[in-house]
A = this chain, B = another copy of it.
Amino acid sequence: MTVDDFSIEEIAESITEIWQLLSKEQRKLLADHITVQKFKKNEMIYCEDEKPTHMMCLLSGKVKIFKDGVGGRSQIIRVMKPVEYFAYRAYFAEGYYVTAAAAFEPSVICMIPMTIITRLLNENIALCQFFIRQLAIDLGIADERTVNLTQKHIRGRLAEALLFLKESYGVEEDESTLSIYLSREDLANLSNMTTSNAIRTLSNFATEKLITIDGRKIKIIDEERLKKISKIG
């Protein structure tokens, strides 16, 4: 049995965090309703104000969750890496999406109808608790982020964004080059600043030998000083 080139075993392996919580029948129910979808670079996955129908699990690639604000300025709220779940909040809150999602890179996403999740939730306490934990963690991060984005200065915010990217997506074999290559604009949208200021501040960091930049490749040289800059704001 396969779903769009992926065997159900492969998918189960990927979504093991949820899969292992389920009974045999529940797994069957899930397997029968899973679909897999591919997204090109920069393709939208879902849009703000849309009605949520599926929970998603990123199988491969990288995804941003963002929100368009005043004057077309976009704010990246969080980023997803494999294998993380997203797009379920709005359904649980019985509302519409307040964010949008797009692929940073070509991505493969596993889609599970929320109606199925709801059915499973009615008979599986462990699954309920999985979502409680996830939501609680994300809410804590959101509260932190609100204060950091509003109160820290530009250097602190950019330093934080770089460290955040390292933590989220890791580094290449050299142990210091960020594994994600973002445009300056995305970097700005992550750190709540204009593109010009992201460019300028990034150059300053390079001059100060905190990082090196080669196009979109960013190498973190002095993580300790970056942390300090991020902390003091």
Contacts and interface: CB of A to CB of B under 8 A. Distances in A.
B139 A138 contact: yes
A79 to B, nearest CB: 14
A71 B128 CA distance: 39
Contact of A133 (B94, B133, B232): B94
Contacts of A133: 92-94
State the copy count for this chain: 2
A151 B121 contact: no
A132 interface: yes
A93 B137 contact: yes
B132 A128 contact: yes
A214 interface: no
Interface residues on A, range: 35 or more
B90 A150 contact: no
Interface string A123-151: 10100110111011111101111111111
A95 interface: yes
Nearest to A192: B150
Nearest to A68: B147
B77 A151 contact: no
Given A121-B128, A125-B128, A146-B146, 8 more contacts: A69-B233, A71-B233, A73-B151, A75-B151, A99-B143, A128-B128, A138-B139, A145-B146
